[in-house]
Each structure stands twice: as C-alpha cells, then as structure tokens.
Amino acid sequence: MDDNNSKTTYSIGLLDLLLVVFVVLKLCKVIAWSWWWVLAPLWIPLAIGAVFALIITILED
C-alpha cells in the first residue's frame, strides 16, 4: 500500500474571481460592457508588469 501524503491545493485569487464573474455576467447579458473591460482583470496586471519591466530595462542602461 502506497502511503503518499502529498496533497495539491488550489486557490483562486481576487483577479481570477473577478474575471470569472465578469465573463459570466457578460454571457448572461447582465452587463453590456465591452469585452476589453470584461477581460480587464487579465490584461491590466500584465500591462502594468510590462511597463515596470520596460522602466527597469531603461534605467539599467
């Protein structure tokens, strides 16, 4: 008998939860937002990270 106690736990972050909620509300036609705003919890943090990476790259030269 294999007694392997390794557990995998998953958690959802606030931005992930917001993304799911916004997509469900859009698909249920509760909100009439553009898909750009519905998917904002996905792309805004990526854009902020890209801007910071660009600033760090410029400052290191």
**Domain boundaries along the sequence of the chain:** 14-60
Full-model pTM: 0.71
Read off the pLDDT band of 1 (50, 70, 90).
low
Give CA–CA dist 8/22, Å, rounded.
27
Which pLDDT belongs to residue 27? 98
Average model confidence (pLDDT) across the chain: 91
> Residue with structure tokens 């904002």?
40
Rg (alpha carbons) of the chain, rounded to whole number: 19
Which pLDDT belongs to residue 49? 97
